[in-house]
Each structure stands twice: as C-alpha cells, then as structure tokens.
Amino acid sequence: MPGWKTLFPVDLAEEGRLSRREFGRFMALVATGFSAGIGYLALRKRPLDGAPEPAAVPVEVKVCRAEELTPGNSFLFTYRNPQDRCILINTRQGWRAYRQTCTHLGCAVRWDGKGLECPCHNGYFEVERGFPIQGPPTRPLSRLAVELRADGWLWVRGDLPKPGPEAA
C-alpha cells in the first residue's frame, strides 16, 4: 500500500488512528525534549528567572565633594552608564541617592526641596526611602547606597535591596 494511503485513509475508522509504535515514538520524543530542557537548566546552574545580571555587581563611583552639596540641594550624576541617570540629595538628615527613573512610566524625577516629583503625571516620592506618596506610581524608587569617605568625597557603592512590603 502506498504511504499516502496510510497517511490519508479513505475509511473514517482509520482516520486519526495511532499505532503503538507511533505513540511510543512520540512519547520518547517528548521525554527527550524534557530531559534536554532540564539538563540545559541544570548546566546553566541558575534559574531562568531572577538571575542576577552581571551589571548588578557593585560598582563604586565617586560623585562629588561633600561640602559642595549643601543641605537641601541635589546633584545629578550617572552611575553605571550614561543612560543610568541618578540623583544625589542632601536632606539635612543625611544623603540619599536614587535612580531618576519614575516607577510609573520612566520619566525623570526631580528634587523640589521636600521630595521627588515626577512632572509627567504628578507622581511624588518621599525622600527618606523613595516610597510613592502621590499619583500613579505604586513602587518605590530604586535606591543606591551613599558613603562619605575620609577624603571628603561622596561615593555611591551600589544598589540597595528593594524594600519588601513589610517595609512599607
């Protein structure tokens, strides 16, 4: 019997029939696929989601001299690359550094003397921890660790962990 006749049988009863051998072949193929996928993940040695990016390795950046940033003022800088715009604020209680990217739609937030405002949709973040207190943003700003070193320069040392829900 020609091959096409078994593939396209005239009889209704033959239509969609799966032989034991074909079924076994299909199952073997599926099993191989799963094993290969799991094996790949195992060799990768880390899960697909939540893997730390290479860029998350702390980078220390010299920002500005401490006495140049008087209380109540801010200083703009870039952290890892020219697109990574950040803002350093002297809040009388201490220094705070945030990414300027608003957590709503990514406009640049700016320091207005009391908090960080986003001009696009009137979002507003308090300056202590970067939590949103007004407007559409629901997540806090991405915060960086600041350190005053003995030479009188302010350094940014890396990302601070994102605050969990209990911190709010």
Binding other proteins by CB under 8 A: which of 1, 3, 11, 52? 11
Structure token digits, residue 125: 């973040």
Residue 15 makes contact with other proteins by CB under 8 A: yes
Binding of residue 13 to other proteins (CB under 8 A): yes
Asked if 43 is part of the footprint of other proteins (rule: CB under 8 A), the reply reads no
Task: Establish if 57 lies at the interface with other proteins (CB under 8 A).
Answer: no
- CB of residue 3 vs other proteins: minimum separation in angstroms? 14
- Which backbone phi and psi does 87 adopt, to 5 degrees? -135, 130
Site residues for other proteins, 124-153, by CB under 8 A, read none
Question: Do the beta carbons of residue 124 and residue 140 sit within 8 Å?
Answer: no
Q: Please enumerate in sequence order all residues whose Cβ is within 8 A of that of 73, keeping only pairs 6 or more positions apart, or say none.
A: 89, 90, 111
The answer to whether 151 and 142 have CB atoms below 8 angstroms apart is no
For other proteins, the closer CB: 10 or 18: 10
Q: Alpha-carbon distance 76 to 89, whole Å?
A: 9
Task: Give Cα 49 distance to the centre of its chain.
Answer: 11
Q: Is 79 left (phi over 0), alpha (psi -120 to 50) or beta?
A: alpha
Q: Binding to other proteins by residue 12, rule CB under 8 A?
A: yes
Among 1, 3, 8, 46, the residue binding other proteins under the rule CB under 8 A is 8
Binding segment for other proteins (CB under 8 A), chosen from 4-12, 60-68, 73-81, 156-164, is: 4-12
To other proteins, the closest distance from the beta carbon of 13 in angstroms equals 5
Total of chain residues touching other proteins, rule CB under 8 A: 6
